[in-house]
Structure 1
Amino acid sequence: MQTKSKYIIVCLLVTFITTLTSYGTLYAQDDNFVVVLDAGHGGKDPGAMKNGYKEKKIALDVVLKLGKTLEEIDDIKVIYTRKTDKFIELWRRADIANKADADLFISIHCNSVNNSKPFGTETWVLGEKNTTRNFEVAKRENEVIFLEDNYEENYEGFNPSSPESTIAIGIEQEVYIEQSITLAGKIENNFVNKAKRKSRGLKQHSLLVIRNTYMPSILVELGFISNKKEGAFLNSKPGQSKMSNALKDAILDYKKELDQNVGTHILGEDLESPSIEVEEPKIIEDVIFKVQIAASKNDLAPKSYNFKGLSDISKNKVGDRYRYYYGNTLDYTKAQELKEEAKAKGYSTSFIVAYKDGKQIDVSDALKSASN
């Protein structure tokens, strides 16, 4: 009876796989690259208002243009924190991204100062660099919480006016800083090279809207609406198209790099792609497989409470960064299972690494040596 049941299950599995493969090379159904787009401010929170321009409107216009172009790509799913002139609490914006198990969170804003001369783009990631300028930006963006009901309860006594509050970083986001910096760099390069804007560079501080997300997250300042010329550019349809296209290309470049390093296809030659079929153990003597889940400049204790409940964590310092790994096995099949466990916990960019004689080697070389 058990044999007959297994036969039926195998037949059903083969039928399912055949249906999938008839479409050629596909992404797994649940492997869409999820991008959460956050138009800053909204509703009763107008954001900056200078020279007749409103930050909340420009941010929303750019987000909608960006989202429309991304939605045209088959394996990208776009989620918006708002699509209308609506007030959304900061904590809820992060919550939307976390519940969606997003791969990226991008919050769009405009800059403004009392001086009309400054202009240029800035992209912010989480960090503790507490310069006077950085603190003032963080304070301005974080003070939105005072418009929220029960903000003291929602933010556990967080005080935007306190430098001590704004430099604190949650462990959950700490492990994504390196990836956030990578994306931020691509965005600023595109603003310069494709949109022909001045870049004021990558900035770091503790901004509430990105502090509580569990994925690579950035906040983009498109430019200064306090500068009449730049404000007019950002408020124009051509200007908004240039900025949204620069953002789109940076996101696609980041995703392409991620796909090459990690692999998400069901079919094809990617050695790290998980197989639908149940595989036998693939033991490779003298090779240790681990799953790299994060990298950070901060030295975190390899404890489960620092890594969303994952145990068997190890770390290795390479240059000025610590790399964190989950698992330790001779079985490549087991390593694939560990990678999926890590991704299920929220480490969406996890990938398998291989070590031989204490030195890291290419996974492909390890697998080739086993087949010879």
Structure 2
Amino acid sequence: MKRYNFIFLVLIFFVNNTNILAQNNVIKKIVLDAGHGGKDPGALGTGRYSKTEKDISLDVTLKLGKYLNAEFPEINIIYTRKKDTFPTLKDRTNLANESNADLFISIHCDSFTKSSAKGTSSHVMGLRYTQENLRVAQKENSVIYLEDNYEENYDGFDPYSPESIIAFSLSQTTFLDQSILIAQKIQEQFRDRVKRTDRGVKQTPLWVTRATNMPSVLVELGFISNPSEEDFLNSEIGQSYMASAIFRAIKSYKNELETSNYNLAIDNSEKIDKNDSSKLYTKKETTQKDVIFKVQIKTSLKIKMIEPVMNYNVDVFKENNLFKYTIGSVSNIEMAREVQKIAVSNGYKDAFIVAFINKNKISISDAINYKKQLQ
């Protein structure tokens, strides 16, 4: 009788844990976006091939979707296009948002005036960008000029206007940390498994990553203005390798997130109110009356000890089941940018600015507006 009781208890444990895993299957829908299409060819390449960026991005996107469907039949794979059509940027982001997707991957090819330029890069929405990142932003955002009524549809946004870029960038996405996580995994796969030149994860003001309400990344597969990379990306094996690399990155990202959620579901020793997602875990509690800017340098699924950066101790807070590490605590955005430069120079190239008021995390645009009201 005891033996049957034991078996019954084991079955109950198995069923309960299976239910937990099912409840914490956080990746249920993925939107795959093949860049450009239809009347928009994207980058033209060297002219040695009939295919342009729109064709290569579609080929790789369809291969990626096939790999994901085979491995994860339970995931709904949604395409912004499966043929040579021209969905607008707004069509693409609206589809992702209306589908309540859990991940958005936009696939593109890069191009430059010098044929020696090479390498892969992954782009997320953020506040830190360089002239190189702006070049990519202008190239990918300028497709709006091919759309009817673009001025009305995009509220006067001008891809070539510095003022538009600055205002656009202040709308910082809530999902920047998760976006950086998947972007880093994609770049690791390109570098380590496909042996492509790694240009890194970039924070770039792109419409498709800014307007989506989920972790989002725009992937540049390589430069089709570079003959060698163009040859690779036009080959069947090259496209398969790149699609497989993105697939492995998504698989790793999915497994890490869902393992983290599973562990949190079993261990309820630490409960965090979802409405108070910016609860800080700092060494010293202080009463905050003004906006405080910090620089986020890292994100992890498990708590880690991070060494001080120069003279800055590292604080950690938890949000959306992720541990987030910051340095500095300054009262204006200019000082925060200086701290950000220090973080970048010390190896945290993806560091970005975050803002808090009364220990609650707020957007950078809200923080700046609040500061103006106090003046």
Q: CA deviation at 1:243?
A: 0.3
Residue 321 of structure 1 corresponds to 296
TM-superposed CA distance for 1:173, in Å, is 5.2
Matched position secondary structure for 2:258: helix
CA shift, 1:139, in A, is: 0.8
- What displacement does 1:315 show? 3.8
Aligned residues: 275
What amino acid maps onto 1:56 in structure 2? K
Note the 1:74-89 alignment, pairs <5 A: 74-89=73-88
> Residue type of the partner of 1:43?
G
| CA shift digits 1:23-67 (9 cap, x unpaired) | x76735996521110000000011010223400000000000000
User: Cα distance 1:29–1:179, how it changes in 2: closer, same or farther (>3 A)?
Assistant: closer
1:134 and 2:116 are equivalent in the alignment? no
Task: Give the root-mean-square deviation of aligned CA atoms.
Answer: 3.1
The match for 1:207 is 206
For the 8 Å contact 2:35–2:58, the answer to whether it is kept is yes
Q: 1:81 to 1:222 in 2, by over 3 A?
A: same
The corresponding residue for 1:103 is 102
Separation in structure 1 between the aligned mates of residue 115 and residue 229 of structure 2, nearest angstrom = 10
Aligned residue for 2:63?
65
Is 1:55 paired with 2:53? Answer: yes
For the residue of structure 1 that corresponds to 2:159, the secondary structure is coil
Quick one: distance in 2 between partners of 1:255 and 1:124?
A: 19
CA displacement, residues 325-360 of structure 1 (integer Å, 9 cap, x when unaligned): xxxxxxxxxxxxxxxxxxxxxxxx94499xxxxxxx
Give secondary structure in 1 for the equivalent of 2:32.
strand
- Which sections of structure 2, spanning at least 5 residues, go unmatched? 1-11, 283-293, 299-318, 324-375
Q: What is the match of residue 114 of structure 1?
A: 113
* 1:136-175 to 2 correspondences below 5 Å: 136-169=135-168, 174-175=173-174
Do the aligned partners of residues 32 and 183 (structure 1) sit closer, same or farther apart at CA in structure 2, a change above 3 Å counting?
closer
Cα pair distance change 1:115/1:313, threshold 3 Å: closer
**Residue aligning to 1:125:** 124
Report the counterpart of residue 290 of structure 1 in structure 2. 272
Instruction: Determine the C-alpha separation between the residues in 1 that align with 2:109 and 2:238.
Output: 13
C-alpha displacement of 1:168: 3.4
2:225 corresponds to which residue?
Answer: 226
Query: Matches of 2:244 and 2:222 in 1, distance apart?
Result: 15
Tell whether 2:25 aligns with 1:27.
no
CA distance in 1, matches of 2:194, 2:138: 29
Are 2:26 and 2:258, in contact at CA under 8 Å, matched by a contact in 1?
Answer: no
The answer to whether the Cα contact below 8 Å between 1:172 and 1:214 also exists between their aligned partners in 2 is: no
Structure 1 residue 171, shift from structure 2 partner = 7.4
Residue aligning to 1:356: none
C-alpha offsets along residues 191-214 of structure 1, whole Å, 9 cap, x if unaligned?
Answer: 011111111111111101111001
Question: What amino acid does structure 2 have at the position aligned with 1:65?
Answer: K
Aligned amino acid, residue 59 of structure 1: S
TM-score, structure 2 normalization: 0.66
Given that residues 98 and 214 in structure 1 are in contact (C-alpha distance below 8 angstroms), is that contact kept between their aligned partners in structure 2?
yes
Question: What residue is the counterpart of 1:277 in the other structure?
Answer: none
Which ranges in structure 1 are unaligned for 5 or more consecutive residues?
1-17, 264-269, 275-281, 293-309, 324-348, 354-372
User: Residues of 2 paired with 1:95 and 1:46: CA distance?
Assistant: 22
Aligned to 2:347: none
- Render the CA deviation track for 1:256-286: whole Å, top value 9, x for unaligned: 11011113xxxxxx55179xxxxxxx9xxxx
Moved more, 60-69 or 72-81: 72-81
Q: Which position in structure 2 is the counterpart of 1:5? A: none
CA distance in structure 2 between the aligned counterparts of 1:165 and 1:69, rounded to whole angstroms? 38
Give 1:44's match in structure 2, choosing from 39, 50, 61. 39
SS of the residue corresponding to residue 202 of structure 1 reads: strand
User: For residues 223 and 290 of structure 1, do their structure 2 counterparts lie closer, same or farther at Cα, with a shift above 3 Å needed?
Assistant: same
Checking the alignment, whether the CA contact within 8 Å between 2:186 and 2:249 is kept in structure 1 is yes
Per the TM alignment, residue 128 of structure 1 is displaced from its structure 2 partner at its CA by 2.4
Give how far 1:217 is off: 0.5
Q: CA deviation at 1:164?
A: 2.0
Sequence identity of aligned pairs in percent?
47
* Aligned partner of residue 226 in structure 1, secondary structure: coil
Query: CA, structure 1 residues 271+30, in 2 after alignment: closer, same or farther (shift >3 Å)?
Result: closer
Contact preservation (8 Å) 1:36, 1:106: yes
Which of these residues, 248, 261, 265, is aligned with residue 272 of structure 1?
A: 265
Contact 1:109 1:221 survives alignment (8 Å): yes
Residues 271 and 291 of structure 1: is their aligned pair in 2 closer, same or farther, counting only changes over 3 Å? same
Is 2:124–2:179's contact at 8 Å kept on the other side of the alignment? yes
Q: CA deviation at 1:321?
A: 3.3
Contact 2:127 2:169 in 1 (8 A): no
Displaced runs of 4+ in structure 1, greater than 6 A?
none
Q: Secondary structure at the match of 2:30?
A: strand
